[in-house]
């Protein structure tokens, strides 16, 4: 197979990659282009061309997988939705008695809340810190600045 055909296959794979997600065709395209360039002296030996194609595609795939993994790495440190309330501060709007729910205002929204320490009551106006979220309620502790 001629080197021009390998280059054409590589370009076609790159175009397909632009249309479809996943980096699969990119690796094949890179392998084909490398085969077209490195395999030019071996135009009459298809076996050597296939070996060059296989090795260069595999290396390209492994490198692309590592690069894509780095780019697409999820930032798991940033909580979202209601879990973003953790460590926020709020103000008690309805007294929180031991083993009973009260209400806390956090960022302008009112949430049902229970105390992390069931032996104390948190009075209205107390500054609290959100420890965690359980279902539709927040678990709060008295803010250290309040003491």
Reduced 3-state DSSP string for the chain = CCHHHHHHHHHHHHHHHHHCCCCHHHHHHHHHHHHHHHCHHHCCCHHHHHHHHHHHHHHHHHHHHHHHHHHCCCCCCCCCHHHHHCCCEEEEEECECCCCCEEEEECCEEEEEEECCCCCCECCCCEEEEEEEECCEEEEEECCCCC
Same domain, 9 and 64: yes
Are 57 and 90 within one domain?
A: no
Residues 58 and 88 placed together within one structural domain of the fold? no
Looking at the structure, tell me whether residues 15 and 36 fall in a common domain.
Answer: yes
Query: Is residue 147, in this structure, part of any structural domain at all?
Result: no
Indicate whether 57 and 89 sit together in one domain.
no
Last residue of a domain, one of 24, 44, 71: 71
Residue with tokens 């055909």: 5
* pLDDT surpasses 60 at 17: yes
User: 19 with 55, same domain?
Assistant: yes
Q: How many domains does the chain have?
A: 2
Based on the fold, state whether residues 124 and 101 are members of the same structural domain: yes
Chain position carrying tokens 């076996």 = 47
Structure tokens of 136? 């539709």
pLDDT of residue 45: 85
Q: In this model, does residue 143 exceed pLDDT 90?
A: no
For residue 136, the domain's CATH number is 2.40.50.140
pTM recorded for the entire structure: 0.47
Residues 59 and 113 in one domain: no
User: What does the pLDDT average to over 81-93?
Assistant: 83
Same domain, 22 and 59: yes
Q: How far apart are CA 90 and CA 107, in angstroms?
A: 7
Answer whether residue 76 is part of any domain.
no
Are 85 and 63 contained in the same domain? Answer: no
2-6, 30-34, 53-57, 93-97: segment of lowest average pLDDT: 2-6
Which residue range(s) make up the domain with 92?
81-142
Is 21 a member of any domain?
Answer: yes
């Amino acid at each position: 197979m001629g080197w021009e055909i390998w280059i054409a296959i590589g370009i076609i794979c790159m175009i397909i990659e632009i249309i479809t997600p996943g980096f699969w065709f990119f690796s094949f395209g890179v392998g084909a282009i490398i085969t077209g360039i490195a395999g030019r002296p071996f135009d009459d030996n298809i076996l050597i061309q296939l070996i060059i194609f296989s090795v260069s595609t595999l290396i390209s795939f492994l490198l692309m997988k590592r690069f894509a993994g780095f780019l697409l790495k999820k930032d798991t440190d940033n909580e979202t939705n209601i879990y973003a309330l953790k460590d926020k501060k709020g103000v008690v709007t309805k007294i929180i008695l031991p083993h009973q729910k009260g209400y806390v205002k956090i960022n302008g929204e009112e949430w049902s809340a229970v105390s992390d320490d069931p032996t104390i009551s948190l009075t209205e106006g107390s500054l609290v810190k959100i420890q965690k979220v359980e279902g539709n309620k927040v678990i709060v502790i008295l803010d250290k600045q309040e003491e």
